[in-house]
């Protein structure tokens, strides 16, 4: 197992219309850590996920669906008191609007983890939104770092997922102080730091000691920095149907590359390619089985 994920597993209920007027929703697997794990599974990367789902039809649907992917579900906990977390999503070509019915994911218990063979611990902002899950998250981060594991942080921080509906900046900054690689969207960076020039966001994040910073810019592509060089990667031309999961696909390409000893820049190139595939479909989970040729081409690049 190369990556251990910590974070939300949930059901996305996606509509073509706005959330206020819509009456029809399509049920999809969701949650950033789960999306990345499924993507990497298709690329041959083994992983496990620490999360919590409800003992309900949606939780059973998640476990049944995961049987076809090579993902160890032994750390996915079942909760008899709290429902599986649901997110209602308005399909969008840009940042999608969403409404959260928060449930079991924030009540995860901290298992005893052996980090042997683990290269990365990846987590999202959902794991630090309430005091108890923040405490558990920091314990796991510290244990991981003591074992030589690198921390990947997806700062998908929004006021609506925190307990008092406002960002807890101190908690976010404590995670940033322990992060090795981060990939905020422009919206994420704006939410945390306020309105600033793009390269200023990158500078601020490196100031926390973060080695790799990737700032995704929507239709403008991404800025990728190793602390010395910042490179701009334009997006691939594609028909955009739904942006849900595009950032998770980018993460998947980056992790695949880094685990194969690629540079952060070559890894990000794969990330952009995978994101372009997800953008063409509804929902975060798509078929990546036909990209082997593209990966071979990247492997042969200098």
The pLDDT of 72-82, averaged and rounded, is: 95
**C-alpha to C-alpha distances, 138 to 6, 117, 134, 251, nearest whole angstrom:** 11, 20, 6, 22
How confident is the model over 132-161, as pLDDT tens digits?
A: 999 999 999 999 999 999 999 999 999 888
Q: Which residues contact 203 (CB under 8 A, 6 or more apart)?
A: none
Under 8 Å between Cβ of 36 and 4: no
Percent of the chain with pLDDT over 90: 62
Tell me the per-residue pLDDT of 126-137, one tens digit each, with 9 for 90 and over. 999 999 999 999
- Which two structure tokens, joined as six digits, stand for 223? 């800025």
Greater confidence, 273 or 164?
273
At a CB cut-off of 8 Å and minimum separation 6, what does 157 contact? 125, 167, 172, 188, 191, 192
On average, the pLDDT of the chain sits at 89
Structural domains in the chain (count): 1
Three-class secondary structure of residue 68 per DSSP: coil
pLDDT higher for 190 or 96? Answer: 190
Who wins on pLDDT, 128 or 91?
128
* pLDDT for residue 94: 58
The better pLDDT of the pair 86, 165 is held by 86
pLDDT at 193 over 60: yes
What does DSSP say about strands 230-233 and 222-225: parallel, antiparallel, or unpaired? antiparallel
- Domain enclosing residue 20, as ranges: 3-299
Residues 32 and 184: their CA atoms lie apart, in Å, by: 13
Q: How far apart are CA 298 and CA 33, in angstroms?
A: 25
Determine contact, residues 42/116, Cβ cutoff 8 Å.
no
Could you tell me the CATH number of the domain that includes residue 89? 3.40.1190.20
Considering the entire predicted model, what is its pTM? 0.91
Q: Distance of alpha carbon 38 from its chain centroid, rounded?
A: 11
Q: Tell me what pLDDT residue 177 has.
A: 98
For 273-286, what is the mean pLDDT?
73
User: Where is average pLDDT lowest: 2-6, 19-23, 274-278?
Assistant: 19-23
pLDDT band at 14 (very low <50, low <70, confident <90, very high): confident
């Amino acid at each position: 197992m190369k990556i251990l994920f910590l974070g939300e597993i949930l059901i996305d209920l996606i509509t073509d219309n706005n959330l206020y007027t819509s009456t029809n929703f399509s049920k999809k697997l969701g949650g950033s850590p789960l999306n990345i794990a499924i993507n990497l599974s298709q690329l041959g990367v083994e992983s496990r996920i620490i999360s919590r789902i409800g003992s309900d039809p949606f939780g059973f649907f998640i476990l049944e669906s995961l049987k076809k992917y090579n993902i160890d579900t032994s750390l996915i906990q079942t909760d008899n008191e709290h429902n599986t977390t649901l997110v209602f999503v308005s399909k969008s070509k840009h940042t999608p609007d969403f409404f959260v019915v928060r449930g079991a994911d924030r009540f995860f218990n901290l298992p005893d983890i052996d980090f042997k063979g683990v290269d990365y611990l990846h987590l999202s902002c959902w794991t630090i939104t309430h005091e108890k899950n923040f405490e558990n998250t920091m314990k796991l981060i510290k244990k991981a770092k003591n074992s030589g594991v690198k921390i990947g942080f997806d700062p998908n921080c929004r006021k609506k997922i925190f307990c008092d509906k406002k960002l807890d900046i101190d908690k976010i900054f404590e995670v940033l102080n322990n992060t090795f690689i981060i990939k905020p969207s422009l919206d994420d960076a704006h939410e945390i730091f306020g309105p600033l020039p793009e390269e200023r966001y990158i500078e601020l994040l490196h100031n926390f000691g973060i080695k790799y910073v990737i700032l995704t810019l929507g239709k403008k592509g991404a800025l990728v920095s190793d602390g010395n060089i910042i490179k701009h990667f334009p997006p691939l031309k594609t028909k955009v149907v739904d942006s849900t999961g595009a950032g998770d696909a980018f993460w998947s390409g980056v992790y695949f590359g880094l685990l194969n000893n690629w540079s952060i820049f070559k890894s990000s190139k794969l990330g952009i390619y995978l994101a372009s595939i997800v953008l063409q479909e509804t929902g975060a989970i798509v078929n990546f089985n036909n990209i082997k040729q593209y990966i071979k081409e990247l492997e042969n690049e200098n």
